[in-house]
Structures are given as C-alpha cells and as structure tokens.
Chains A and B, each alone.
Chain A
Amino acid sequence: AQTVTQSQPEMSVQEAETVTLSCTYDTSENNYYLFWYKQPPSRQMILVIRQEAYKQQNATENRFSVNFQKAAKSFSLKISDSQLGDTAMYFCAFMRNTDKLIFGTGTRLQVFP
C-alpha cells in the first residue's frame, strides 16, 4: 500500500526567510502524481503545487518550489520569502494512476514577524 510520511509535525520560520518541508512516500509504481496542499486556519484546502513523476524538472509556483527525488522517494517543499499568510498546515499527497489521493499527516508551519 502507498504511504506518505511527513516527519516534521511543526515548523517555524521568520518572515522573509526560507523554509523547507519534508515529505517521503512509499510506492512501487513508476507513474504517479505528487501534491502539496495548504490548509490555513479557515480550513479551506488549497492546492499549492503539483509534480508529475515522469517529469524530471522540479515544479515551481512563484515562491513555492519542490525538490523531487524520485529514486529516494522524496518530495520536499521550499517556501522562499516566507509571508505571514503562509502560516498554515501543509499536507503532502500522493496519487497513483486511477487511484485516490493519499495524504500525509501534515506539517504545521508558523511564520513569525
């Protein structure tokens, strides 16, 4: 069975600094998709970034980028120039072909002024 592990329950960063959230996953599949979702205190789940496993290039969305290491089954999220609005719970998620989304347990990120 596929599993997603986020080993950092909580992290904090100062405004304008950079922070990296870790995620590892376990699968025997070769084709799959990886996502990072953000859930702020409003509880609205927001898609941050997506990575297709067949793409070697790391995905980037403005201040958010990933470091996708397929062989190591690692998918970390880097947030540059952190802002107070980045304070949220961050979930790493895995989706294989024709299957459901599997979430990690989340990392609570606090951005301090």
Chain B
Amino acid sequence: KAGVTQTPRYLIKTRGQQVTLSCSPISGHRSVSWYQQTPGQGLQFLFEYFSETQRNKGNFPGRFSGRQFSNSRSEMNVSTLELGDSALYLCASSLAPSGTAEGEQYFGPGTRLTVT
C-alpha cells in the first residue's frame, strides 16, 4: 500500500505571496492532520480533517487554512506569507480520527517551505 504523499517536496516563496500544499493519505484513511516543524518551535499541530470536516485546530493565525476533499486528499493554504512561515510542513493520515483506537498517524515526507 502506498504511503502518504505530499506535493510539492520543496517550495520557495516570497513574503506576501500565498502557497497551497497538498497531501494524499494512505488508501482507506479518512483522517488527515497537518503539522508545522521548525527548529525553534518544534512540531506544532495545525489542524485535522475527517470526512471533509475540520475536527481540531491548533493555535495558528487565520492565514493558515485547510480543506479536505471527498477522496480524503487534503490541502493547506497559507496566505500573506511571512519569513517565520519557513518550515517543514508534515501531513499525517489515519484510518479514524486522532484520539481513537485506529487514530495512529502515519506521516508523509513533508514539504519544505522557504519564504524569502
């Protein structure tokens, strides 16, 4: 079974621009979670989607948004990029929502976003 895939793998953007990252979960997985990883803040939860509905949201400004499609693929969007948004963005999928018996998460390879 194919793992979680994320596109693109690397991205360079300029301050003020917007960016969309994509995540395709493992086949059959209906929950997708997004995380931001930086050297200073570590791994921080952004949001989780299950069956096209946002279940949980982390403490990020409204510039960070996401959505999930009927095939469980998910996208996250960051508008008005800031230098501090430079990070590795990780997507994880699970069979069931996080916090449940089948909620263990499997991660994709990440998208490295650099904002200049």
Residues 64-116 of B contacting A (Cβ, < 8 Å): 88, 90, 92, 97-101, 103-107, 109-110, 112
29 contacts between A and B (CB under 8 A): A33-B99, A33-B103, A33-B104, A43-B88, A43-B109, A44-B107, A44-B109, A45-B90, A45-B107, A46-B107, A47-B104, A47-B107, A50-B104, A95-B99, A95-B103, A96-B99, A97-B100, A99-B56, A99-B98, A100-B45, A100-B56, A100-B58, A101-B33, A101-B45, A101-B92, A101-B98, A101-B105, A102-B45, A103-B42
Q: How many residues of B contact A (CB 8 A)?
A: 24
Are A43 and B99 touching (Cβ within 8 A)? no
Residue of B nearest to A98 (CB): B99
Given contacts A98-B99, A98-B100, contact A43 B43 (CB under 8 A): no
Give the docked Cα–Cα distance between A35 and B99 (Å): 12
* Residue of A42, A52, A97 with most chain B CB atoms under a 10 A cut-off: A97
Dominant secondary structure at the A interface:
strand
**Chain A 84-99 interface mask (CB, 8 Å, partner B; 1/0):** 0000000100011111
B10 CB, min distance to chain A CBs, angstroms: 11
The 3 closest A-B pairs by CB, nearest first: A45-B107, A103-B43, A98-B99
**Chain A 27-57 interface mask (CB, 8 Å, partner B; 1/0):** 0000001010100001111110010100000
